[in-house]
A and B are shown apart, each in its own frame.
Chain A
Amino acid sequence: MVKVEDLQKLCHKHVVDQLPDNHPARDAIKNRVRLDDKQNKNLYGENISTQAGNKKASLGVLKYLGGKDRELIVCDDSMETGRKVFHTLGELDKAGVSARYTVFSGPGEFSQGSDYLRPEGWEQFKDKVTVGTTQEKAAKTLRGLSGLLSSHTNVRLNKNVHTLGQSIPATIDTLDNEHAHTLRRSGDLMKKLDTALA
């Protein structure tokens, strides 16, 4: 099954490929801490609250790391999670931890967006936020693909169809037929993306 994780790995690969051989960031990206939302644990087995999103997740990782000398690069594709970026930065700041967020979003959506996208904390922490994407079409492409992959994963995992704000049980046969096609399309689009970035 094609998953959002596959898209993540693909993008990581292309970013790593841009870095020179032996660049220290290469290993860091490869060995990144990844949170496992399905088990509510990070890679080190710590329990985290996924419902609270990045705030508790990041603090959970920090707790594990136990040090305050590290700088965290917390990556997220954000419009909707924009507010949590600043909540997290605020919490980390209180804990005396240096953190930097890399946010993947169009500049208009995050740094120049509405109050919703520029919540309290923006002025205090804006220098710690790197907007990783500078062009809207890139953000829309990746967000669209991410959304597509997430959608069928959601439906498949839950054996439900989520739409119109409701959760409607459906038969697995119907979903299998539906998602066989969606999965094929997702896989094709992933290959196209890989080729385009090569």
Chain B
Amino acid sequence: MNEFNAELIEHEKGRLEKIADEVDQYLTDPEAIDALKQSVKTIANQIGNLYTTNPGKEFTFVVGGKSRRLTETMP
């Protein structure tokens, strides 16, 4: 591996570590945890309400559709 590639790999490693550190920090932040829990409830309520307010109607969930690799989908 040449020096240029090695430098880029180090850069990439640093970037991933930084992302991991940020996520780790959020996951130990009570405010962030509350936000996540609230979001899960909100989403469940929103989806649940669609069903209860439209009895008999068929819904189809389509999840994902990637135009870039890092696009991912939450329910």
Contact = CB atoms under 8 A, between A and B. Distances in A.
A151 B16 CA distance: 8
Contact of A28 (B23, B29, B44, B51): B51
Interface string A1-12: 000110110011
Given A76-B64, A144-B26, A189-B24, A197 B38 contact: no
B1 A75 contact: no
B50 A100 contact: yes
B31 A137 contact: yes
A20 B48 CA distance: 9
Given A148-B19, A174-B1, A33 B61 contact: yes
Nearest to B13: A178
Contacts of A147: 19, 70
Interface of B: 1, 4-5, 8-9, 11-13, 15-16, 19-20, 22-24, 26-29, 31-48, 50-51, 54, 57-75
24 contacts: A4-B70, A4-B72, A8-B74, A11-B40, A15-B44, A15-B75, A28-B60, A29-B47, A33-B60, A71-B57, A77-B73, A80-B68, A104-B74, A133-B35, A144-B23, A150-B70, A151-B19, A154-B69, A174-B9, A175-B9, A182-B13, A182-B20, A189-B24, A196-B33
Interface of A: 4-5, 7-8, 11-12, 14-16, 18-20, 23-25, 28-29, 31-35, 37, 48, 50-55, 57-58, 61, 65, 69-77, 80-81, 84, 100, 102, 104, 130, 132-142, 144-155, 161-164, 166, 168-171, 174-175, 178, 182, 185-186, 189, 192-193, 196-197
